[in-house]
Amino acid sequence: MSAARQAVEYAAEQLGFSALGVASADLDQGDALPRWLNDGCHADMQWLERHLPMRQNPALLLPGVRSVIMLTYEYPRRDVRCSPGSIARYAQGEDYHKLLAPKLADLDETLQFYGGSQKCFSDSGPVSERFFAAAAGLGWIGRNGLLVRPRGGSFCFLSCILTTLLLPTDRPMRNHCGSCHRCEQACPTHALVNGRCDARRCLAYWTIESKQLSAPIEIQKAMSGHLYGCDVCQEACPWNHLPSPHAVDPHLLMPARLAAMPETELADLPEDEWACLLANSPMRRTGSAHLRRNIHTFSDPTPS
């Protein structure tokens, strides 16, 4: 193993990343993503179309890129909300973008010592992170479209480092979903079909990304109880029922006030209190008006 890879693996472990794998940057990604876009499964998230060339060719992001380093960072598995209005596990604590950015900067500095030029992302750039994570042997893409790991399941963030260094690569892992379809069967809106997620039916899309003032009535009914995001497909996955061998960063745990606050109290919060409550949360991107819409939808999921 190269000295550069040994150094970055050691540094990543010290920084709290749970696993690291490497894939070649020039892998053929196939036509799965273009077909998904052509079928309209991205709803109105037009940036996915605009960024398609870069997603399929990392050299457009970093000229001379040779290796893609993929890392996992754990987030909580358990929902600690004591009141109705579930919040996706990944968004329950501090903003992971801000948490992981300085850690990736440290790894970038490590690789610079060995002569590499890097670009780093954690759900913050047009990189096919799940594709490269699977190619780097960190897990496989499950029927819910997420990276699933035999030790750890799917409750993790993915981070990516594009580097001009040529590093030893890892072998992809065999898909272990087998004949299991529990995620597809559990999805409340039937958004998962043949291993693809149709955002037009996905509750995560409707509660986070959609800017529409209202959703179709069948979606509204399914939104009942979902304040921000949806983890139903992850909760149904048997690989998430096994004990996790990894620790969770305390910064990613939900604040006690948010865990205990009823949805009616959340809906009536003044703007300054919303700003304070969401100051360090990834939910601040969506904004209080959008969250209030979600609260009113699941409190009274009937058309006006």
**C-alpha distances in angstroms, 280 versus 5, 80, 194, 255, 290?**
33, 18, 37, 10, 17
109 Cβ partners below 8 Å, 6+ apart?
none
Amino acid in the structure at residue 266:
L
For residue 91, the tally of other CB atoms under 10 A from its CB is 22
CA distance 140 to 295: 35
CA end-to-end span of the chain: 63
Which residues are catalytic, by number? 123
Report the sign of the C-alpha dihedral through residues 86, 139, 175, 243, in that order.
negative
Among candidates 202, 209, 229, 226, which has minimal Cα distance to 297? Answer: 226
Q: With beta carbons less than 8 A apart as the criterion, state whether 159 and 17 touch.
A: yes
Rg (CA), the chain: 20
Q: Where are the alpha helices (DSSP H) in the chain?
A: 3-14, 32-38, 47-50, 52-56, 96-113, 129-135, 182-186, 203-204, 217-222, 232-236, 256-260, 263-267, 271-277, 288-299
CA distance 119 to 289: 34
